[in-house]
């Protein structure tokens, strides 16, 4: 029979073998290391297993700052894009409204005209300071109307040779306007043509100049209907 020594208070038992107690120097080193590990414990006031550090490292703060800047920049860019697109759409809608109004006014003038003359030239918007008269009409009520190309297209109403009314239609510099007449089915047809579309936001100028808008109507149509 093998008898194993019973551990006492002065020794530690490992696998049945006795080890001598730690010396004073070893105990001091162990206490010092434990003190280093427990510094967070003293600050947190909780156990070492649940104690967590406070604050952020420099790298973490830099990452947060970069991400915040990216998010802010994206938001600003998106807002600017939406506002820009809204402005472009608004100006484009206004341009189409102006052309629709021009078509209505020109048709009404031509329908009431007793005499219709054209310069038969393409006038360029903004090319001359005084403007170019491209068409003149005499109306059944004794007034006369003329269309002048200046910084836009201007409609002027005269009575007894005096200017009594003026209306403008917004066009861009470089756009061209032409009024012409031709015969069709024993009727005189007047055509107003605008060459090129408005460049609303850094658009392709070459492609813009290829677009054409046209309105045509029968000259004196209202007078003919009244005489029937």
pLDDT for the residue 14:
45
- Per-residue confidence band for 129, with pLDDT thresholds at 50, 70 and 90: confident
Residue 144 and residue 136 in contact, taking contact as beta carbons nearer than 8 Å:
yes
* Mean pLDDT, residues 158-187: 91
pLDDT at 56 over 80: no
Determine the Cα–Cα distance for residues 193 and 215; give it in Å rounded to an integer.
Answer: 7
The full set of domain ranges for the chain reads 74-227
């000259």: which residue's tokens? 219
Pairing of strands 187-195, 176-184: antiparallel
With a cut of 60, say whether residue 148 has pLDDT above it: yes
pTM, two decimal places: 0.59
- Per-residue pLDDT tens digits for 36-46: 454 444 444 54
Name which of 103, 115, 177 is nearest 140 in CA terms: 115
Q: Which residue is listed with tokens 């162990």?
A: 30
Per the prediction, the chain carries an average pLDDT of 76
Q: Is 145 exposed, middle or buried (0-12, 13-18, 19+ CB in 10 A)?
A: buried
Q: Is the pLDDT of residue 61 over 60?
A: yes
């Amino acid at each position: 029979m093998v008898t194993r020594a019973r551990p006492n208070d002065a020794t530690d038992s490992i696998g049945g073998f006795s080890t001598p107690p730690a010396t004073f120097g070893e105990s001091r080193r162990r206490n010092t290391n434990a003190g280093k590990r427990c510094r967070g414990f003293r600050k947190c006031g909780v156990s070492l297993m649940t104690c967590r550090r406070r604050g952020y490292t420099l790298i973490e703060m830099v990452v947060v700052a970069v991400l915040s800047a990216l998010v802010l920049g994206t938001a600003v860019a998106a807002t600017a894009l939406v506002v820009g697109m809204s402005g472009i759409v608004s100006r484009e809608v206004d341009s189409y409204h102006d052309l629709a109004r021009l078509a209505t006014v020109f048709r009404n003038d031509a329908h009431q005209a007793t005499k219709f003359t054209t310069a038969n030239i393409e006038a360029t918007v903004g090319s001359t300071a005084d403007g170019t008269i491209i068409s003149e009409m005499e109306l059944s009520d004794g007034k006369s109307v003329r269309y002048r190309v200046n910084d836009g297209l201007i409609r002027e109403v005269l009575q007894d040779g005096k200017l009594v009314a003026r209306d403008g239609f917004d066009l861009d510099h470089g756009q061209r306007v032409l009024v012409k007449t031709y015969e069709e089915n024993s009727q005189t047809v007047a055509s107003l043509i605008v060459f090129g579309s408005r460049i609303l936001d850094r658009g392709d100028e070459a492609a813009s100049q290829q677009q054409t808008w046209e309105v045509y109507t029968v000259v004196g149509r209202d007078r003919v209907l009244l005489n029937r």
